Amino acid sequence: MTSRCRMERLALTLVLLSVSCSASEYEYLSWKSDAYSRGYGKAPQCVDIPQDLRLCHAVGYDQMLLPNLLEHETMAEVKQQASSWVPLVHKSCHPGTQVFLCSLFAPVCLERPIFPCRWLCEAVRDGCTPIMESFGFPWPEMLACDKFPQDDVCIAMTQPNATESPNPTGFSSICPPCDNEMKSDAMLEHMCASEFAFKTKIKEVTRENMDRKVVLQKRKKMLKTGNLKKKDMKSLVLYLKNGADCPCQQLDNLGNQYLIMGRKVDKQFLLTGIHKWDKSSKEFKKAIKKLKTYKCPAFENVFK
């Protein structure tokens, strides 16, 4: 083995060990040959991971290859596409979510990059899809798991038979739109994943099949209009997708005012976030103030 190859293997080993401090142990399986160089307009470069690439800035290594493994050729495109995934990582739907995504968005800076293992993709997809569906987003085609290697060259986080956790869904039992994170960044991410947002009270909550039906008061103070029309606003009903049985403390008290967010998916309006309207909270006030100037990622460009 040449000294260059030894250095590359050593570098990859150090990278994987450094990332493992935030999850479980990685494995280096082998190289994927020639897949990276096909179809790119320019040669790969090793560049610093910028601080504002929030998805991968703290992943455990400092540099990445550009173009990346999702065919993004500029850092601006990487940031725009990757920002849509930050809220999902915060939901902790699978311990390998950040590793899987960053192996594609910000691949380790080596001349012969490797792809994530297919089973890691499947584990992250199966753990996170319920949360994504509750926000009206499908698992995107660009991350179809059958694109990734099964027995050959891949990044692994744990043994395939060790991916299951005591909680098979991989996330908190609280309904995802109701996990009341009173942090300004988390609230803004919820807002960005929503098409509309307003301040209002809740009239009644009922169960409808596997969903919860949320009927709102007529009076609403709009913060983000989106595609809502006046006729929609008059009798707006939101559905908590697959939320018939999961806890949502906010829906237990119909006397409070709430910041309510939603999206239209097919012919239904989905509840994507709900926070108590709490002016005594510094984080809440900060989120509302920043909302006017906050630049959201374009989710529709990612989740196709």
Q: How far apart are CA 126 and CA 118, in angstroms?
A: 12
Q: If DSSP codes are grouped into helix, strand and coil, which group holds residue 56?
A: coil
**Tokens encoding 300:** 């529709």
Q: How far apart are CA 132 and CA 134, in angstroms?
A: 5
What fold, for 176-302? OB fold (Dihydrolipoamide Acetyltransferase, E2P) (2.40.50)
DSSP-derived secondary structure letter, 135: T
Intrachain domains 3-162 and 176-302 with the same fold: no
Q: How far apart are CA 136 and CA 271, in angstroms?
A: 9
Give the start-to-end residue ranges of the domains of the chain: 3-162, 176-302
Q: Which residues pair with 271 in a beta bridge?
A: 262
Task: Write out the chain's pLDDT in tens, 304 residues.
Answer: 433 333 333 233 333 333 333 333 333 333 333 444 445 556 788 999 999 998 998 888 899 999 999 999 999 999 988 988 988 888 889 999 999 999 999 998 876 778 999 999 999 999 999 889 888 889 999 999 999 998 777 888 754 444 444 344 444 578 988 887 778 888 888 888 889 999 999 999 999 999 999 999 888 899 988 888 888 887 789 999 989 999 999 998 888 999 999 999 888 999 999 999 998 999 999 998 888 788 887 766 666 5
Q: How far apart are CA 149 and CA 291, in angstroms?
A: 41
Q: Which residues contact 179 (CB under 8 A, 6 or more apart)?
A: 91, 172
Question: Which CATH architecture best describes the domain 3-162?
Answer: Orthogonal Bundle (1.10)
Confidence (pTM): 0.73
Q: If DSSP codes are grouped into helix, strand and coil, which group holds residue 239?
A: strand
* 245 HSE (CA, 13 A, CB side): 3
